[in-house]
Amino acid sequence: MNKISRYGLIMVAVLLALIYLPTFIWMKARFDEVESYYSHGYLVPLVFAYLLWIKRDELRKCAVKPAGLALLIFVPALLIHLLAYTFDINFLSGFTLIVALFGLALYLYGTEITKKAAFPITFLIFMVPLPQVMIINISFKMKMMAAQIATSIVNLMGIHAIRDGSIVYLKPDTSLTIGSPCSGLSSLIALMALGALYAYLVKMSRTRKIILFLLSIPVALAANILRIVMLLLVGFAYDAKVATGPFVHGFLAFLLYVFAIAGLIIIGRMLSWGKKSST
């Protein structure tokens, strides 16, 4: 089988996009939701394209050996997508897109190129929203955990605080409700994507890359707890209205990402330093 032409590849991409158009429309709706947990979803395809672009020279040097048996991956993925669309299981349809891309890459180009493109394709998983029921359940548990830990930290700082469910009482006339946006799930998903990207781009062993990615999870959780602690401190110093106001709330949300990204960079440097010191 000869190498597919550029125009042929564009045609295949257009056809695949048309097949998955209902899934893309569903994703866009989830991205645009108020207080969406996947507002970063628009950036994921851009990162996917960028990662392929920076590897373009490597990809050109790879041998093109199409694998016909890859249709056993591609075709079932499309069939499952059809079933998922029929029964309105949108998140499953989104995941089949990633499987279909792997099958298509193998079918058109073979193993060597597919290995080079494996991470960019896998990275697309961060734009596929999880089911709402799962999101609500995880978000609730994370919210309770973050509220409890933040309350304990504030108490250790000498400020008497009592948590009742998701409400933290600081003073007789001051209480803060830790809402779902403060659960940290949105920042966790975004920072896991960032951690995966950072681990992929940094030069270190595969084991260290995996460790760096896994550590993005506690870093994201810790940054969110720190944000809630700061909100409680502002609420105690002033009042709940100031703490939950758009300026303070937005500024602390920005700081969350600053702290988390700084933490990831520090951990990455430490892992890289450990590599250098051992050589």
Phi and psi dihedrals of 196, rounded to 5?
-65, -45
pLDDT value of residue 3: 59
Phi and psi dihedrals of 179, rounded to 5?
-85, 175
Residue labelled with tokens 């207080």: 35
**Tens digit of pLDDT for each residue in 55-84?**
999 999 999 999 999 999 999 999 999 999
pLDDT value of residue 40: 94
pLDDT value of residue 276: 52
The string over 113-129, giving b where at least 16 C-beta atoms fall within 10 Å of a residue's C-beta and e elsewhere, is: bbebbebbbebbebbbb
Number of H helices, E strands in the chain: 13, 3
Neighbour tally for 190: CB within 10 Å? 20
pLDDT value of residue 1: 39
Residue 238 is encoded by which pair of tokens? 């002033």
Residue 166 is encoded by which pair of tokens? 């998701």
Residue 180 is encoded by which pair of tokens? 């779902």
pLDDT value of residue 207: 95
List the one residue out of 125, 108, 142, 139 whose CA is nearest residue 33: 139
Contacts of 159 (CB under 8 A, 6+ apart): 170, 232, 233, 236
Give how far Cα 75 sits from Cα of 15, 148, 193, Å.
14, 48, 28
Positive/negative CA dihedral, 16, 19, 23, 25: positive
| Sheet of strand 167-171: strand arrangement | 162-164, 167-171, 174-177
Question: Domain spans of the chain?
Answer: 6-126, 133-278
Residue labelled with tokens 């409400």: 167
Give how far Cα 37 sits from Cα of 27, 66, 90, 176, 180, Å.
12, 38, 16, 22, 10
Residue ranges of the chain with pLDDT lower than 70?
Answer: 1-3, 274-279
List the one residue out of 65, 44, 69 whose CA is nearest residue 113: 65
pLDDT value of residue 25: 97
**Tens digit of pLDDT for each residue in 151-164?**
999 999 999 999 99
pTM assigned to the model? 0.91
Contacts of 51 (CB under 8 A, 6+ apart): 119, 120, 123, 200
